[in-house]
Amino acid sequence: MENWDIVKFSREKFPRHKFRSYQAEVAEWLAELVQDGQGGKAAVVFSRQSGKDEVLAQLLAWLLVLHQEEGGSIVVALPTVQQANISKARLLARLEACITMGAKPQRSGYEVGYGQANVHFLTADPSANVRGETASLLLVANEAQDIKTDIWDARFDPMGASTNAPTLFLGTPWNSSSLLSREMKEARRQERLWLVDWRRVARDVPAYGKRVEERIAQFGPHHPFIRTEYECQELGGEGGLFPEARRQLMRGSHSRVLTPGQGQNPIMLLVDVAGSDETSLRNADRLGGRRDSSAVTVVEVDISPTGNNKGRMPTYRVINRYLWHNVPLSQQHERLTRLAEEWRAKYLVVDATGLGAGLVSNLKQSMGKRVIPFVFSLKSKSDLAWNWLGIIESGRYLEYAEDGALDTALFWRQLAAVESEVMAGPGQFMRWSVPDPALHDDLVMSAALVGTLEDLDWRPRRAVGEQT
């Protein structure tokens, strides 16, 4: 059959979804790789929400129409059933426009057929039974950063072995240990890697560029989301979650405030809780000097139109902190109640995990809605880290100037010791902690609770009443 031009195919069959110029460049390149009969692997990385899945859908439709008479099979692997269903629905919608080319699209379970050719949409979930399929035209791993490497190697890679089908990896890089990152390295070596970052997209879609520029202004150019999802870079090799460059962004010039004043900006207390049983000297000895303590970070929220926020996002200034060793929860309740009144705190964000749940319950009885509970879990702790990094990278988190105090020095030591890992799989969950047995992370976790404040409405309230 005639080797149709894929860009012309897109323009004529899908006028509402015709390729933008950067999509056309990638599609032409992929069409050539698929049709050259050499097999091998290729990797394509698009900036977030810039049309990667549309390119894949039209590539699949083009291949099915092209091979509708002689037949052939394509296998597309995705991390979840929901993603597979969305990809399948998009292909069916495109094929409906191709009826005049011959066959009619057929759908049966996870398979989409067109004439004698078909596509199998399979999930890479570990519990799925996907063995036995064969890819003769193309083998695809979409959102490959979320597909486990061992699952791909054992179940999917053999599907193209007997036919030498070309293999295509698509997604967002994230950490350097993912399947996508592994295949990007190999594709780069073979000169079969195509990256479409946000700047390339912005040349065709100025509104997209404006939106990304706003995100960069909000989160900073070095935030992991910006680097991976818009710059198409891998994470890894930073020397910890808070390398020196990031720590420098956190250093403010204001002095520590030891005595509560009468400032106009809202004050927040951020509390990481440890019970007296956790902080006993016996436990510290058993852990080789590692003592978990309750930590309180006092934060001033600046919502003025000056500085980095320019009236849009608040700036958080740490103005004091407290560290309590081996203090029973009943006494912690008394101390926090007193601090809240002395500082006239607008809210208290309090760790409600484990022993902290009882403390939060008692605080809410006395202070009501001023107390905001936070329960640490894999997801909530990960979200907290991403939020905090966004605040830091945009210059909106500032520590007080060095004052020579032991707790100040300990905070910076803990911060420098934090290590992180972005887990493979959907969600990009981050595990982060201080693995050094001589340290803990109480001061860091207390400060990190500033990430919860982004969900609050800091817009000034206007009193409404009758005119006199």
Say what percent of the chain tops pLDDT 90: 62
User: Does the structure show a pLDDT above 50 at 416?
Assistant: yes
292-334 confidence digits (pLDDT tens): 689 999 999 998 755 444 446 899 999 999 999 989 999 999 9
- Give this prediction's pTM: 0.70
Per the prediction, the chain carries an average pLDDT of 87
Q: 427: pLDDT confidence band, cut at 50, 70 and 90?
A: low
Enumerate the CATH 3.30.420.240 domain ranges in the chain, comma separated.
240-455
Q: Which residues of 385-414 are buried (b: 16+ CB within 10 A; e: fewer)?
A: bbbbbbbbbbebbbbbeeeeeeebebbbeb
Q: Match 């979930």 to its residue by tokens.
A: 125
**Cβ atoms 322, 227 nearer than 8 A:** no
Percent of the chain clearing pLDDT 70 (strictly above): 90
Start-end ranges of CATH 3.40.50.300 in the chain?
A: 6-214
Q: Is the pLDDT of residue 239 over 60?
A: no
Q: In this predicted structure, what is the pLDDT of residue 152? A: 94
Is the per-residue pLDDT at 32 higher than 60? yes
pLDDT digits 0-9 by tens, 183-196: 999 999 989 999 99
List pLDDT tens digits, range 139-171.
999 999 989 999 999 999 999 988 999 999 999
Q: Give domain 240-455's CATH number out of 3.40.50.12280, 3.40.50.2300, 3.30.420.240, 3.40.50.150.
A: 3.30.420.240
Digit-coded pLDDT (tens) for 351-384: 999 889 999 999 999 999 999 999 999 999 999 9
For 159-165, the CB contacts below 8 A with 24+ separation are 159/75, 159/133, 159/134, 159/135, 160/39, 160/75, 160/134, 160/135, 162/134, 163/134, 163/135, 163/136, 164/39, 165/39, 165/135, 165/136, 165/137, 165/138, 165/139
The CATH class for the domain spanning 6-214 reads alpha beta
CA atoms of 3 and 442, how far apart (whole Å): 63
More confident residue, 126 or 194: 194
- Specify whether the backbone of 233 is left (phi greater than 0), alpha (psi in -120 to 50) or beta: beta
Flag whether pLDDT at 428 surpasses 90: no
* Interval 55-106: pLDDT, tens: 999 999 999 999 999 999 999 999 999 999 999 999 999 998 887 777 788 8
